[in-house]
Structure 1
């Protein structure tokens, strides 16, 4: 049984169980701050349903659906509920695909219609006044390709779900799944009834980051199925960090609101800081469930070059050692450093070109897949190329042979006869030696060089998408920056030019072996010692601005317009990100804020009363 399930109940847990036992079913929204044990409450709720209503669900062939934000979270929840067959835990994309997958004819019709929409969009751009001749020619090439795609789609026997779209190969990407499923849920009462009958309980984790159209579609499922259906949300509006998320759920007088104010993670010193941050947001004050003694400090430092920033970071760590007599501030693996954007981490870990290729003007599937390694070009390197090179460097020839036998066409038993085995092994050895050299320190080899080595030596059967881009057959799609396929082609060109050695830095980042992480990417994580770096100058992220949050810069025209219209804008967005990053600290928190006007920043921070005045430091204090 999970430790989470065995943990003491909070008032929110008891209240939720009461609601789960009510019939007619009621829908609810649990608002749980950072460190409150939101996932624990979710797991307890799932376990309660299985224990108290499982027999009835089993008799009716019904399940409980639990929708999470990531595959990692899904696996954790699945393990914690004891792998119960009555509970389906999945990401929103996987859940929606499970629902619509049986309707293959409808899927094909939708894809054909989607391709038609893309053709129409390009035709409208061609006919638009002011469109340049060169752009028109590019658009016509796109239309020709889309027409070929439409013809190919007609012959696709079955569609599957992948990270990126490839319609002519029968692959639907993340965006397609969302658009298609939402469209079907909104238009088909029958489908909504089917969902309600199969899943009388649907729980949504991290509800604040769920797409508004998904919340609306699930609400329609609730309306269609009435009191036979329970829809439950678990989240925290203060931890909404993705612009596509809904944040606050729309008010519904029929929903039960459950607030969980406890914080079992943070020391009192850290908790005081995050409560002060939250005070100007939704005002929820978290109560302490952790008696650990810790610390919370902010260092306000002047803008300097990158080398000086690195020196300042080291001096801050040394200062923390001298203040607290805690040598772990300087020990590898004991401090997590949170930066604003992945690019800052990529620069420090030496994979800037790989980051740029997968992020700058890249398709959404590449951008999203950069963080967790799910983007298909990255996944191939993470799952095969780097493990193979690492195994070879370790001298584990037995494992190398296992990997090659599993993946190399040269070792296909049906093709090998007599002396051909020795020849194949010799060829593969040459390829392996070249691969290790291309990935070695100081190598100038590019990703394309590595792929050509793999291809020319038959070390592995390459993904058809890789081969298509390597052979230049996708060049006609690379001009249109506002098209996902065009973006993918441009990204792949840049990807091929990346120095292959950058993958080692990325691997550290992917495996969390680096001290660096992004403030957006650590939601749900916790660390004993956290340093969060606030640096608008290096981050250059339009969505967030710590200078505006601390009152050093005026709001932009767009910000002011959004304020008047009651829309989200830069200050609440930055406040939420600041709350998320500071609330990762279990014991000790350090904030380093780089700004052009140190004195004004300190004055405003004192006025905002986020940190105690005696815990506000400047560069003179580092000496």
Structure 2
């Protein structure tokens, strides 16, 4: 057994000892980039199944495993041979299965929450000016919420699909399911007892990005039942991407928790591991080691003076050619599927990928960011899973696909509506005419706006419009409100963001969907988490990104820290530097063979001096691209 295998086996043994049904122990496993968390998880669970699975089954219990994505869930299920000893699911699926039996309590939670939201809207409406845009938008929201309260007692059963659309008066959305679950687990002792009696062991992968309110609820249950419940967290705070995770996860854990660590990186070559260790060394002591037979690898930093940039596409193509030379790897020669381009800020991918006008307004709203990036934002799934597939099927003249989508989502072909209709054939004919009318928006090679498509879908009653998009459908992009506009504080910034986004051409929705599905030339933060690529190009450009939450110029020493940065650092609070460092770590740690970092900067000399002084790169690894551009 080599040294890296011994280290992993040690962590496996420590974790396995925690999964004792008679004397459970909770733990936080540090598992850095490329550490093989899934291998560790599957190894431990297979051993548990062999040695203790029978005892668990006799007690009518299971082990719950919460994963970050459906893909991860499917992979773990497969490797566990779909054994019913384990319940493997995403956090949304797991949450719904917990609360689904408590329909009355769900109803009362919605009643209380809707009343609170309605009261706030009505108060804002009293302060607003009648006839203005914001007033009309709130009027629609108030109407919707009043109707929801009115119909609440008529709903026999609430529904929720963690992987699809949640429309209709009985449907819950993703955010509601998480909030309800967190509240139920925190407030109801019965729910806590149900959890631990069903799942005495709960393991959470990518725990650093699990919703803060849920993680805190699980901590509370573990504190209340330490002798009956083992909570196992797998994660790496350096790889926390979303702002709604628990910031200090892993810090100040109870003294009786185990704190195993996997320090082997099975993915990256030696040179990349040295770099990512340096990146995190200023904030954490964790240091990874390569496997014994790891390749050396190649890393280069290309510095580009952003004060005078000609053509960025041309620059990056030149860099790929240089990487082919430095690595003796001809697959670097052109920027295609052989090279994964990772942007540290989504604006950059949006601009390059052709969906900036759709993406930018929504991304500018903090409340919408996470849902926009994972595709679960209310309204986004409606556009990407109903409208876009329908349009694609229509344009491909795929009548079977059109019919399937309409049967699944459209009220026009709802089974009850067809039964109540005196002439079902006429109803079906009407549906076909509605679809044909929608397709006419693309006549003569035109590209309609998303808003035009949405409005016509609503007018033709093709699909029910989600609550948050209803106010937008009452607005025309040509409408001139002039002096009718209310004061800025009376605006609804979320609705304004949606309105701006939906003005874009429809094809931007297609480009955005490819991006979040990881089908474009660029990688999303969510898309690349856990993934690996032989050749990686990381592009850094503060000016293009226009982000206020991140600053690569500061991280690379080209710009001084602000007073706020310094104060946050001194007070132990999260700063923009912390967020930027984490994103830089995640992207660099995707590389299996070679890594190119392209840094556009206003101060090339400062960047070079800083990275050399920090010992992130050696002198021969830092390339001044302006020398090539001046030739």
TM category, shorter: 0.7 to 0.9
Aligned to 2:55: 56
* 1:528-607 alignment runs, 5 A limit: 528-607=534-613
- Given that 2:95 and 2:181 are in contact with CA atoms closer than 8 Å, whether structure 1 keeps it comes out as yes
- Given that 2:442 and 2:448 are in contact with CA atoms closer than 8 Å, whether structure 1 keeps it comes out as no
Counterpart-to-counterpart distance in 2, 1:529 and 1:541: 26
Report how many aligned residue pairs link the two structures.
606
Aligned to 2:303: 300
In the TM superposition, residue 585 of structure 1 has moved relative to its aligned partner by 0.6
- Given that 1:32 and 1:259 are in contact with CA atoms closer than 8 Å, whether structure 2 keeps it comes out as yes
In the TM superposition, residue 97 of structure 1 has moved relative to its aligned partner by 2.5
- Given that 2:303 and 2:622 are in contact with CA atoms closer than 8 Å, whether structure 1 keeps it comes out as yes
In the TM superposition, residue 192 of structure 1 has moved relative to its aligned partner by 1.1
Counterpart-to-counterpart distance in 1, 2:308 and 2:507: 26
Counterpart-to-counterpart distance in 2, 1:206 and 1:399: 36
- Given that 2:518 and 2:527 are in contact with CA atoms closer than 8 Å, whether structure 1 keeps it comes out as no
- Given that 2:25 and 2:226 are in contact with CA atoms closer than 8 Å, whether structure 1 keeps it comes out as no
Q: Which stretch of structure 1 is more off in the superposition, 60-69 or 518-527?
A: 518-527
Aligned to 2:343: 339
Aligned to 1:522: 528
Question: When the two structures are superposed, what TM-score results if normalisation uses the length of structure 1?
Answer: 0.85
Counterpart-to-counterpart distance in 2, 1:509 and 1:78: 27
Q: Which stretch of structure 1 is more off in the superposition, 15-24 or 81-90?
A: 15-24
Aligned to 2:150: 151
- Given that 2:540 and 2:599 are in contact with CA atoms closer than 8 Å, whether structure 1 keeps it comes out as yes
- Given that 2:549 and 2:579 are in contact with CA atoms closer than 8 Å, whether structure 1 keeps it comes out as yes
RMSD: 4.0
Q: Which stretch of structure 1 is more off in the superposition, 374-383 or 230-239?
A: 374-383
Correspondent of 1:309 among 292, 309, 312: 312
Aligned to 2:505: 499
In the TM superposition, residue 273 of structure 1 has moved relative to its aligned partner by 1.0
Q: Which stretch of structure 1 is more off in the superposition, 580-589 or 380-389?
A: 380-389
* 1:97-136 alignment runs, 5 A limit: 97-121=96-120
- Given that 2:202 and 2:230 are in contact with CA atoms closer than 8 Å, whether structure 1 keeps it comes out as yes
* 1:388-427 alignment runs, 5 A limit: 388-390=390-392, 409=412, 427=433
- Given that 1:337 and 1:532 are in contact with CA atoms closer than 8 Å, whether structure 2 keeps it comes out as yes
Correspondent of 1:256 among 252, 255, 258: 258
Counterpart-to-counterpart distance in 2, 1:160 and 1:235: 31
Question: When the two structures are superposed, what TM-score results if normalisation uses the length of structure 2?
Answer: 0.84
Aligned to 1:325: 328
- In the TM superposition, what whole-angstrom CA distance separates every residue of 1:260-291 from its partner, at most 9, and x where no partner exists? 00000001121111111122221211111252
Counterpart-to-counterpart distance in 1, 2:431 and 2:179: 48
Tell me the SS of whatever aligns to 2:559.
Answer: coil
Aligned to 1:234: 234
* Change beyond 3 A, Cα 1:411–1:52: closer
Counterpart-to-counterpart distance in 2, 1:509 and 1:48: 39
Counterpart-to-counterpart distance in 1, 2:6 and 2:500: 50
Correspondent of 2:625 among 608, 619, 622: 619
Aligned to 1:359: 363
Counterpart-to-counterpart distance in 2, 1:481 and 1:204: 43
Counterpart-to-counterpart distance in 1, 2:424 and 2:112: 54
In the TM superposition, residue 45 of structure 1 has moved relative to its aligned partner by 2.4
Counterpart-to-counterpart distance in 1, 2:487 and 2:75: 40
Aligned to 1:3: none
* 1:208-219 alignment runs, 5 A limit: 208-219=208-219
In the TM superposition, residue 62 of structure 1 has moved relative to its aligned partner by 1.0
Aligned to 2:482: none
Counterpart-to-counterpart distance in 1, 2:268 and 2:167: 48
Q: Which stretch of structure 1 is more off in the superposition, 186-195 or 527-536?
A: 186-195
Aligned to 2:92: 93
Identify which of structures 1 and 2 has the higher relative contact order when contacts are C-alpha pairs closer than 8 Å and 6+ apart. Answer: 2
Aligned to 1:286: 288
- In the TM superposition, what whole-angstrom CA distance separates every residue of 1:48-85 from its partner, at most 9, and x where no partner exists? 33232221222222111112233333233223322222
- Given that 2:174 and 2:376 are in contact with CA atoms closer than 8 Å, whether structure 1 keeps it comes out as no
Unaligned runs of 5+ in 1: 1-5
- In the TM superposition, what whole-angstrom CA distance separates every residue of 1:515-555 from its partner, at most 9, and x where no partner exists? 21244652211111111112111112222211111222222
* Change beyond 3 A, Cα 1:179–1:517: same
- Given that 1:550 and 1:605 are in contact with CA atoms closer than 8 Å, whether structure 2 keeps it comes out as yes
- Given that 1:202 and 1:232 are in contact with CA atoms closer than 8 Å, whether structure 2 keeps it comes out as yes
Counterpart-to-counterpart distance in 2, 1:547 and 1:324: 27
Unaligned runs of 5+ in 2: 480-484
- Given that 1:528 and 1:588 are in contact with CA atoms closer than 8 Å, whether structure 2 keeps it comes out as yes
* Change beyond 3 A, Cα 1:227–1:464: closer
- Given that 1:112 and 1:150 are in contact with CA atoms closer than 8 Å, whether structure 2 keeps it comes out as yes
Counterpart-to-counterpart distance in 2, 1:396 and 1:146: 38
- In the TM superposition, what whole-angstrom CA distance separates every residue of 1:297-348 from its partner, at most 9, and x where no partner exists? 1011111577622221111112112333322111520111111222211111
